[in-house]
């Protein structure tokens, strides 16, 4: 049985309040900001603060794809190195003990993929298996956790799972679409490092991973993704995501639970990616949960914004911090369009 040995989450240093971001939007996208109903997105997002790769003023100047991607590489390596060292210390292992590395990211590009550079920096064995996963977006935290658990089942004793996203670097100045404006109100930067291993008593066991369930929704590629333009990765997403959650999530979660023989009545913890305030509400409605039940998802959204794949891992960290117990569901949706669920047990 794969277990979570440790988790470390973190952000870059530039903290921005939502009111500051709102004012900046008037310069960043002046035509859209002049429409009061659109500007209300900042107030309705239920976000107080976010963290960005660069000071807010940097985003008000034009930057090309190459420059933004260079920042992505620099910041991803620095943050992932710090978090990996923290996660290894918590797990009580050395870099040489890591047998596999899973790296999830969708907000920049690099070949060689960045986990290979981190392996050299940290002294991870050069024979360690590498599994870089790109393009999963917000679903990447759940998918990466599931694939890391699969590697443990395959016999790898210590698996490092990294999810790093710098969504702020995908904002495109002059893109007068509502998607870009909403992204300006939601997107933020952050990363997480997790160590997983077998449940053999050799280290901490914060959570057991029982199984996972993936669903690719047909004819849905336009719901979320990137369009590649001269100035970078241009966001594309639909306002119909909350409606889709309401339509499908109840039956989809039921299918996921059947994989491990559980029922929803047995679930005590819900670790849900907070794509936005309306998405959280849609999850609660679809799963028949009391309004406000997803406390950890709301807190992460309020304090950090939407950091794509790493966000659900911040929710997991908050859930553990609050003393999680019993069976749980970790859930996220992302480009494809897809739903990803991981069935976990926090013990008693």
- The enclosing H or E element of 74 equals helix 65-91
Query: In the numeric block, which tokens belong to residue 312?
Result: 């659900």
Find the angle CA(168)-CA(169)-CA(173) to the nearest 5 degrees.
90
138 in catalytic set: yes
The answer to whether residues 295 and 274 touch, using CB atoms and an 8 Å cutoff, is: no
- How far is Cα 69 from Cα 169, in angstroms, rounded to an integer? 8
| Phi and psi, residue 165, nearest 5° | -140, 135
C-alpha distances out from residue 151 to 131, 140, 154, 215, Å: 10, 16, 5, 21
Of 138, 167, 296, 338, the active-site residue reads 138
- How far is Cα 315 from Cα 94, in angstroms, rounded to an integer? 26
- How far is Cα 174 from Cα 28, in angstroms, rounded to an integer? 7
Burial 118-129, CB ≥16 within 10 A → b, else e: bbeebebeeebe
Catalytic residues: 138
């Amino acid at each position: 049985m794969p277990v979570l040995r440790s988790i470390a989450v973190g952000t870059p240093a530039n903290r921005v309040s939502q009111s500051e971001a709102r004012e900046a939007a008037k310069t960043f996208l002046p035509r859209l900001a002049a429409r009061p109903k659109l500007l209300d997105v900042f107030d309705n997002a239920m976000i107080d603060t976010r963290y960005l790769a660069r000071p807010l003023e940097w985003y008000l100047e034009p930057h090309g794809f190459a420059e933004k991607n260079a920042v992505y590489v620099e910041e991803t390596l620095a943050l992932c190195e710090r978090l990996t060292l923290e996660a290894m210390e918590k797990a009580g292992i050395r870099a040489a003990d890591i047998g596999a590395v899973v790296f999830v990211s969708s907000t920049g590009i690099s070949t060689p993929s960045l986990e290979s550079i981190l392996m050299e920096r940290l002294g991870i064995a050069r024979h360690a298996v590498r599994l870089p996963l790109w393009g999963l977006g917000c679903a990447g935290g759940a998918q990466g956790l599931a694939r890391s658990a699969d590697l443990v089942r395959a016999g790898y004793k210590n698996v490092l799972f990294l999810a790093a996203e710098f969504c702020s670097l995908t904002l495109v100045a002059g893109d007068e679409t509502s998607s870009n404006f909403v992204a300006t109100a939601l997107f933020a930067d952050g990363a997480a490092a997790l160590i997983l291993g077998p449940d053999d008593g050799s280290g901490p066991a914060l959570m057991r991973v029982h199984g996972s369930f993936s669903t690719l929704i047909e004819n849905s590629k336009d719901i979320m993704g990137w369009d590649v333009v001269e100035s970078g990765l241009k966001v594309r997403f639909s306002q119909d995501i909350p409606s889709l959650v309401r339509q499908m999530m109840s039956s989809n979660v039921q299918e996921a639970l059947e994989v491990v023989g559980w029922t929803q009545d047995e679930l005590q913890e819900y670790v849900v990616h907070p794509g936005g305030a309306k998405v959280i509400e849609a999850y609660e409605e679809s799963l028949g949960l009391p309004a406000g039940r997803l406390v950890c998802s709301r807190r992460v959204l309020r304090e950090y914004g939407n950091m794509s794949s790493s966000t659900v891992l911040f929710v997991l960290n908050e859930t553990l911090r609050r003393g999680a117990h019993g069976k749980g569901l970790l859930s996220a949706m992302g480009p494809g369009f897809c739903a990803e669920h991981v069935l976990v047990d926090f013990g008693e």
